[in-house]
Structure 1
Amino acid sequence: MRYRLTFVSGLAVGYVLGARAGRERYEQLRKAVRRIAENPAVRNAGEAAALSGRQAAAKAADAVQDRLPSPVSDRVRTVRDYRARAGSDWGAEAH
């Protein structure tokens, strides 16, 4: 699924950048992409993917924490502490 999404995204970007259809077609595409992005099902899927990615990254960091050089380990700990104090996950803010 990831490869399909990447391909479709690349195709869309390539079309927009290489199209000679003009500004009107570009605006139509932009509105369509915005409608898709604002779809609650798409937003929920994106948030679920982001959450699972953060969980996987946390597991990976925990698994290799003792093998990391001290400066890297300290930086990971600092970022985790900052995010915990901020009470905010990346991408979770309403725009």
Structure 2
Amino acid sequence: MKGKIGIAVGLAAGYVLGARAGRQRYEQIKQKAQQVWELDPVQKQVDKVAEFGKSAALAVPSVVWDGAKRVVKAINKGDSAGEKIDNAAAEGKKAADDVRKAAERDARKVADASAAADS
């Protein structure tokens, strides 16, 4: 479904940009697009995506923050400079993995929500 929507948007944009009918035709297309945008089914999907985006956007930064705190704590554990660097590097790798997993989890949620909306 995403591919079909992308093609439709691309074709519409190409037509609008390439149309030689002038300002009047552009205004007609713009008005129709606004009417479609304001339809209840479209706005319901917009609301769903907005709510999901808010929750997903909050998840990754908290994982990043937790990882940064763990790296700082790891630096303080070492006695020598080399140990501190090794501890920070090891904890940084773990934190990066956690961020990657959180981003993948959120991406799966978006894909699942999109698939549910399509059906």
Please, what TM-score do these two structures have when normalized by structure 2? 0.49
Q: 1:4 to 1:58 in 2, by over 3 A?
A: farther
Give 2:35's aligned residue.
35
1:32 deviates by 0.6
Q: 1:3 to 1:51 in 2, by over 3 A?
A: farther
The alignment-based identity, stated in percent, is 38
Question: How far apart, in 2, do the equivalents of 1:3 and 1:49 lie?
Answer: 18
Is residue 66 from structure 1 mapped to residue 73 from structure 2 by the alignment?
no
Give 1:14's aligned residue.
14
The amino acid of 1:34's aligned partner reads Q
Unaligned 5+ runs, structure 2: 70-119
Give 1:50's aligned residue.
50
Unaligned 5+ runs, structure 1: 70-95
> How many pairs are equivalent?
69
Please, what TM-score do these two structures have when normalized by structure 1? 0.59
Structure holding more helix per residue: 2
Q: 1:55 to 1:2 in 2, by over 3 A?
A: farther
Q: 1:11 to 1:67 in 2, by over 3 A?
A: farther
1:7 deviates by 2.8
Deviations 1:20-64 (A, max 9, x none): 122222122111101001112111111111111121121222222
